[in-house]
Amino acid sequence: MNEYLTDMFGSDDSFCEKEISRISYQNGQNVMEELPANLPPEEEEGNVEYKLKLVKPSDFRMEHLVTQMKWRLEEGQGEAIYEIGVEDNGFLTGLSDTEMDASLSTLKKMADRLGASIEVLREKVTEVGERKRAMEVLVRKVPDDQQFIDLKLAVLGNVDVGKSTILGVLTQGELDNGRGRARLNLFRHLHEIQTGRTSSISYEILGFDGNGQVVNYSACRSIEEICERSSKLITLIDLAGHHKYLKTTIFGLTGNCPDFAMLVVSANTGIAGTTKEHLGYALALKVPVFVVVNKIDMCRRAVLDRTLNQLEQILKSPGVKKVPFRIENSDDVLTAAGNLLANNITPIFTVSSVTGDNLDLLKQFLNILPPVTPSCEREKRVQDMTEFQIDELFSVPDVGTIVGGIIHRGSIREGDQLMLGPNDTGSYREVKVKTVHRNRLPCRLIQAGQAACVALMDVERKDIRKGMVLVSPQSPIVCCKEFEADIYVLFHSKSITKNFQTTIHIGTVRQTGTIIQIDRDHIKTNEKARVTFMFKYKPEHIRVGARLLFREGRSKGMGEVTRIIPFDEDIHR
């Protein structure tokens, strides 16, 4: 973390101007070059496979090809990219039409054997001498232990930029009228309909079928139907834009562990209000970001260019160090999705929710967004002891108490015996899982990384609070009221000393805490320190290595938990 990120959180709104004068930039140009004529050499690991041709393979070779496809799909958690007509060193040799047709037919047979679908993403035609073609194909197969491939996407941005509207348009399949029509069905509370502002977190889903076609409410009547028809499902987490709801927004971001964040900016107002702060939080939590500039129907080209330039300066600034990449066509979408994680690219879309301009590019991008966690890491977490973090509570007549949240480790099945806690005195109690639901549908099993709802037997709602966990009975207890952390102050008007009180966010834990020890007299903006925090009210279940954010008024900081001081009830009496 360096000092420039503090500009994201500081109260100094002249940041953009300062940055513009500090950095030279190529006005309006994509920093990425055009897709090269050749690709980088094939990598052994990962989900991308190069195949020069797949013409009439022998039975023996076919077996090998199918096994290899299965492995590539596992590497990509259900998605693999095949580059046909490309040599292992990345050279785009290309194939004649007949060879390409035969290769695609073999690829289709291989996919059929595994129950996977194929979708051609793009084609390159080389015209030097004889006409030759190379193709990029997406192979998708929902892993056996999953109902669909799923990703979580947090939607961030200032108030009124059109976050709920974009979600409404994507999930309902109907354009907006510029006066709030599309966002209407996303609101949860009466006061939200009255003010038009999102104050709580709402979750929407957008599906894609095996051919990359959108599956949403335009053709489906229920969430069940969307889930059934989708092979990839994106959960869109609509977070509030207004400053007043910043705590809820941070909670949504830390508690939901999104795979990606979509920062929405209004073309006519540019970087305003909470935009920089939202971007800063996503960066602090290391969530990959892409930007959607909305409402392009409302402004002149010059105004849009000013917004884009402003954005590019912030993204390129030393604290952010991203490569802004404007998306203008389908080719850009594929380049951006392929480079998002490895090459620090931040794609910038320019759309209108009223005219629908470029929304097809955004949908295409969402369809091919790759999974973030490497498959080996995911597998390790699935095998680990269970830990489910609670971020929502419901009481349903005839069912009882239901907890919603994310399973970070292990798996949960109906009938499992788990420990629920910590309560106010730091203890955990045995509970039995009645049923498990994902996307409002019952399911057999949930696994690490998934968001789900778990109905518990014989537990009263009043005995549970957000931030509690469900863990395996064998799990080591990591409950504490005091913990050590390395912190970094993003903004404080003076200096932070011992006894400083702040709201601490760690995953779904949100509680006031006090610095009771600090390894120096005081810390100011841009400075680091090792501190000991003490929660004000009750012990919490947290882990070493967890990222934390703290915020009080205009003071903001981030850090990492380095040591847990195990909670001993007697000491705290």
Ligand X SMILES: Nc1nc2c(ncn2[C@@H]2O[C@H](COP(=O)(O)OP(=O)(O)OP(=O)(O)O)[C@@H](O)[C@H]2O)c(=O)[nH]1
Closer by beta carbon to ligand X, 175 or else 220: 175
Tell me the closest approach of the beta carbon of residue 247 to ligand X, in angstroms. 14
- Give the nearest residue (CB) to ligand X: 241
Smallest distance from ligand X to CB 355, Å: 7
Nearer to ligand X, 177 or 211 (CB): 177
For ligand X, the closer of residues 187 and 208 by Cβ is 187
77 versus 158: smaller Cβ distance to ligand X: 158
Report, in Å, the least distance between residue 135 CB and ligand X. 34
- As beta bridge partners, residue 484 has 532, 563
Residue number, 80 or 167, with CB nearest to ligand X? 167
Rank residues 53 and 183 by Cβ distance to ligand X and give the closer one.
Answer: 183
Task: Compute the least distance from the CB of residue 200 to ligand X, in Å.
Answer: 10
CA–CA separation, 401 vs 413, rounded Å? 17
Residues 6+ apart with CB under 8 A from 112: none
Distance CA 165, CA 153 (A): 15
> Other CB atoms closer than 10 Å to residue 243's CB: what's the count?
12
Two tokens, residue 476: 């080591």
State the Cα–Cα distance between residues 302 and 309, nearest whole angstrom.
10
Give helix then strand counts, H and E, for the chain. Answer: 13, 28
Shortest reach from residue 87's CB to ligand X, in Å:
44
Nearer to ligand X, 308 or 412 (CB): 308
Please give the structure tokens belonging to residue 473. 């009975």
Least gap, CB of 363 to ligand X (angstroms): 15
Rounded to a whole number of angstroms, the minimum distance from the CB of residue 159 to ligand X is 4
Q: How far is the CB of 360 from ligand X (least distance, A)?
A: 15
> Which backbone phi and psi does 348 adopt, to 5 degrees?
-125, 115
Which are the contacts of 307, defined by CB distance < 8 A and separation ≥ 6?
265, 266, 267, 268, 269, 270, 271, 293
Nearest distance from C-beta of residue 23 to ligand X, angstroms: 29
Task: Kindly state the tokens that stand for 443.
Answer: 């399911």
Q: What angle do CA 159, 557, 154 make, to 5 degrees?
A: 40
CB nearer to ligand X: pick between 269 and 427? 269
Nearest to 239 by CA among 287, 299, 207: 287
For the residues of 7-32, what is the DSSP string, one character each? HHHSS-TTHHHHHHHHS---TT--SS
Query: Least separation, in Å, of the C-beta of 164 and ligand X?
Result: 3
| Least distance in angstroms from the C-beta of 368 to ligand X | 23
- Gap between the Cα atoms of 357 and 446, Å rounded: 38
- Contact assessment for residue 39 and residue 50, using Cβ atoms and an 8 Å cutoff: yes
Residue 509 bridge partners (DSSP): 506
Strands 441-442, 214-215: pairing kind: unpaired
Closest approach of ligand X to the CB of residue 281, in Å: 15
For 128-164, what is the HEC assignment?
Answer: CCCCEEEEEEEEECCCCCCCCEEEEEEEEECCCCCHH
User: Min. distance of Cβ 188 from ligand X in angstroms?
Assistant: 11
- Give which of 421, 430, 504 is closest to 473, Cα–Cα: 430
User: Across-strand partners of 128?
Assistant: none
| Residue 275 Cβ vs ligand X, minimum distance, rounded to whole Å | 11
Nearest approach in angstroms of CB 359 to ligand X is 9
The sign of the CA dihedral 371, 374, 376, 382 is: negative
Instruction: State which H helix or E strand residue 488 sits in.
Output: strand 479-491
Which residue's structure tokens are 């990509």? Answer: 76
Spatial CA neighbour of 207 closest among 249, 147, 275, 253:
147
Burial of 171 from C-beta contacts in 10 A (0-12 / 13-18 / 19+):
buried
The C-alpha atoms of residue 384 and residue 390 are separated, in whole angstroms, by 18
Query: Which residue number, 105 or 195, has a Cβ lying nearer to ligand X?
Result: 195
Q: Which is nearer to ligand X, 239 or 546 (CB)?
A: 239
End-to-end Cα separation, the chain, in angstroms: 39
Q: Nearest-5° angle of CA 215, CA 378, CA 562? A: 125
Which pair of tokens denotes residue 273? 């209000």
Q: Report CA torsion sign: 46, 47, 52, 56.
A: positive
Q: Which residues bind ligand X (CB under 6 A)?
A: 157, 159-165, 176, 178-180, 183, 196-198, 240-242, 294-295, 297-298, 352-354
- Specify the residue, 188 or 242, whose C-beta has the smaller distance to ligand X: 242
Of 353 and 472, the one with the shorter C-beta distance to ligand X is: 353
Name which of 186 and 420 has its Cβ closer to ligand X: 186
Cβ distance to ligand X smaller for residue 181 or 461: 181
For ligand X, which is the closer residue by CB, 234 or 368?
234
